[in-house]
Chains A and B, each alone.
Chain A
Amino acid sequence: EADIYQTPRYLVIGTGKKITLECSQTMGHDKMYWYQQDPGMELHLIHYSYGVNSTEKGDLSSESTVSRIRTEHFPLTLESARPSHTSQYLCASSEKGTDTQYFGPGTRLTVL
């Protein structure tokens, strides 16, 4: 079982609210990732980070933003949530030099 945590696990909010999805890992991994997954669909990379102060956009365009101030912490923020943001968000991490990614349990976001 990987030591990577996400909070909250479930979130239901109204349109226009600002939200932050938390992700933390205790493995000291340099690389961290955020994926978006809709039911029955593949995971899409929306953000990644090589290390502290490094953030990059992934393949799927997202209105969210991320920050990496500490190695263990990689929060994702939506400034103004919309129903189209309803999805499952998965955080992952990997060690430098490998591509084995360890996933958190995910946050199921519903925007009404």
Chain B
Amino acid sequence: KNQVEQSPQSLIILEGKNCTLQCNYTVSPFSNLRWYKQDTGRGPVSLTIMTFSENTKSNGRYTATLDADTKQSSLHITASQLSDSASYICVVSDRGSTLGRLYFGRGTQLTVWP
């Protein structure tokens, strides 16, 4: 069964600190993996996208890694800011589907305190 599991479910950190969010997936055949940021009451916004051959991708203070062999990804946030408070969702695409089927994790709810 194609699944995406994220951990931790929630995380509280102090402003300025770093953190790492985890994503494990069983989706096959794999096409790509995205990390989305979803602010409360808003739609998800893409942060990074990685294909099978990529093992790291950065977007400002966000750095995503991918290990396609172990089917694991992480999102590292450096020097956190209050505006980083949001849900971070791992999304894996199945290349076997003409629809471009996406499998969503439940997200990690990150809270950054001043």
Q: How many A-B residue pairs have CB under 8 A?
A: 48
Asked if A101 and B42 make an inter-chain contact with CB atoms under 8 angstroms apart, the answer reads no
Asked if A99 and B106 make an inter-chain contact with CB atoms under 8 angstroms apart, the answer reads no
B interface residues, tally (CB under 8 Å): 22
Closest CB in chain A relative to B108 CB, distance in Å: 11
Known contacts A31-B100, A92-B43, A105-B42, A99 near B93 by CB under 8 Å: yes
Q: Which residue of B lies closest to A59 (CB)?
A: B101
Q: Which residues, 6 to 40 on A, are CB-close (under 8 Å) to B?
A: 6, 9, 31, 40
Which B residues contact A (CB, under 8 angstroms)?
Answer: 4, 9, 31-32, 41-46, 49, 89, 93, 99-102, 104-107, 109
**Which 10 residue pairs across A and B have the least CB separation, nearest first?**
A99-B100, A103-B43, A42-B104, A43-B104, A42-B106, A99-B93, A103-B44, A105-B43, A104-B43, A106-B43
23 residue pairs from A and B, CB less than 8 Å apart = A6-B43, A9-B41, A31-B100, A40-B107, A40-B109, A41-B106, A43-B89, A45-B102, A48-B99, A90-B44, A92-B43, A99-B32, A99-B93, A99-B101, A99-B102, A100-B49, A101-B100, A103-B45, A104-B43, A105-B41, A105-B42, A105-B43, A106-B42
